[in-house]
Amino acid sequence: MVGASHAGAQVAASLRQEGWDGDVLLVGDEAALPYQRPPLSKAYLAGTSSIDDLAIRKSEFYEKHRIRLVRATVTGLDRAARRIWTSDGGTISYDGLALCTGGRARRAALPGSTLEGVHYLRTFADVEAIRQSVRPGGRAVIIGGGYIGLETAASLRTLGLEVTVLEAAERVLARVTAPAVSSFYERVHREAGVDIRTSVLAEGIEGHTSVTAVRVTGGERVAADLVIVGIGLVPNTELAAEAGLRVDDGIVIDDHARTSDDRIVAAGDCVSHRLARYDRLVRLESVPSATEQAKAAAATLCGKERPIRALPWFWSDQYDLKLQIAGLNTGYDEVSLSGDPAADRDFSCFYFRDGLLLAADCVNRPRDFMWVKQALGRGGKVDRAQLEGALQPHP
């Protein structure tokens, strides 16, 4: 396995479960055991968990199942010879190969973006660096109002910082949620003391050696001791592309996690997979999807058939709010709300296209989420009447 995060760790574990008896090497370039990334912007940043708490599995698991962790960066892939090159000049031969290369934080093309105090949030080392800049009463500016930006804003407010979020779109979460959900999160963050600014472009980061301000549209300067850039993820597809594998945003896989080379599988944030339900190629940045793809990948390497079928789902924790998302809402033409997002702290937003349910965003509504996830996961068509009949009224 090239890549030792969620997908790579799951492929390794599933290989043993599927009966692979040969060597299993898990190659990664981070010092820690494979760990959970979602808590980095939440509990880990807030200081309520340690890197050991985030470990996907303990070291004893890898020892027991004869999974060897290799600390290295893979620099090349020779498909004909079935081997990979590592940064130390070594080579590793393979009978089966899983590319679980993940992604990296998208860098900001802004003047001043290399100043001390400018950070990204993708790895535990990133969070350790951020913590060095955190002090109660400090001023943090977050560039990007997506999930990572809002989760980070919540954690930094918990730590006592003054926080400003700059979002270029007209609302936060604009690419992934309906306006009512965006308005809800803007309200919640403002009530928590976060300065949410939408339709605002960051034009530069200022300071001598350390950041002092972010310059925005119109020339205003927003004071900052700490800047966190959260503007998306770039999939690590270079290794695959240079080896001649098919790449389209991500490494393209079929329903069994095979790449365009039958002896190579792939899983995780780095892959694109055509979802029959939505009839399009999709790259999902989702732990559940990475896990599902990894299990299929391991089965394929063992000569078995385990197609990728699970419904995509996601979650986000901010303050005392748990957002759970079932399905993909791309192409929706109608929304229906259960609860009042303008006043309450629990509600569900259901997305429809041509009268059929596509997806749901459920805030502190686990029952709604589970029903939609199971109903859509069965592959059936759900209309408004079925949805309303199945979900009991909430008090």
pLDDT in tens, 125-182: 999 999 988 998 999 999 999 999 999 999 999 999 999 999 999 999 999 999 999 9
Report the DSSP pairing between strands 83-86 and 74-78: antiparallel
224 domain-assigned: yes
pLDDT band at 314 (very low <50, low <70, confident <90, very high): very high
Measuring CA to CA, which residue among 107, 178, 216, 102 is closest to residue 330? 178
CATH of the domain at 205: 3.50.50.60
pLDDT tens by residue, 331-347: 999 999 999 999 999 99
C-alpha torsion sign, points 269, 270, 272, 273: negative
Three-class DSSP category at 149: helix
Please check whether residue 76 lies inside any domain of the structure.
yes
Q: What is the DSSP string of 88-132?
A: TS-EEE-SSEEE---EEEPPP--TTTTSBTEEE-SSHHHHHHHHH
What is the total count of domains within the chain? 3
Residue where a domain stops, chosen among 198, 229, 260: 229
Q: Considering only residues 245 and 276, tell me which one the structure prediction assigns the higher pLDDT.
A: 245
Same domain, 285 and 252: yes
Based on the domain organization, do 150 and 222 belong to the same domain? yes
Question: Is 132 in the same domain as 222?
Answer: yes
Say whether both 225 and 112 belong to one domain. Answer: yes
Residue-wise pLDDT for 20-52, tens only, equals 999 999 999 998 999 999 999 998 998 889 999
Q: Is residue 312 part of a domain?
A: no
Please state the rounded mean pLDDT for residues 186-194. Answer: 98
Is 70 exceeded by the pLDDT of residue 10? yes
The pLDDT, as a whole number, for residue 5 is 96
- What single-letter amino acid sits at 173? L
Same domain? For 100 and 113 the reply is: no
Average pLDDT of the residues in 371-384: 92
Q: Answer yes or no: is 315 within a domain.
A: no
Closest CA to 156 of 175, 174, 133: 133
Question: Sorting pLDDT into bands at 50, 70 and 90, what band is 395?
Answer: low
**CATH number of the domain enclosing 343:** 3.30.390.30
- Note the pLDDT of residue 236: 98
Domain that holds residue 161: 107-229
Of 202-206, 247-251, 385-389, the poorest mean pLDDT is in 385-389
Same domain membership, residue 116 and residue 147: yes
Position 392 scores a pLDDT of: 65
How does strand 347-353 pair with strand 356-363? antiparallel
Is the same domain home to 100 and 203? Answer: no
Band (pLDDT 50/70/90 cuts) for residue 391 is confident
Q: Does the residue 395 lie in any domain?
A: no
Q: Are residues 175 and 250 in the same domain?
A: no
Check whether residue 162 and residue 211 sit in a common domain. yes
The mean of the pLDDT values for the chain is 95
The two three-digit tokens of residue 320, written as one number: 């005392």
pLDDT-derived band at 278 (thresholds 50, 70, 90) equals confident
- Among 229, 248, 282, the domain-final residue is 229
Residue 311 lies in a domain: no
Both 168 and 111 in one domain: the answer is yes
Which region among 68-72, 304-308, 316-320, 378-382 has the lowest average model confidence (pLDDT)?
Answer: 378-382
> Is 215 in the same domain as 116?
yes
The reply to whether 358 falls in a domain is yes
Handedness of CA 244, 249, 251, 253 (dihedral sign): negative
Q: If you ran DSSP here, which 8-state letter would residue 336 be given?
A: E
In a domain, 308, yes or no: no
This prediction has a pTM of 0.94
Same-domain status, 120 and 186:
yes
Q: What pLDDT score was predicted for residue 88?
A: 86
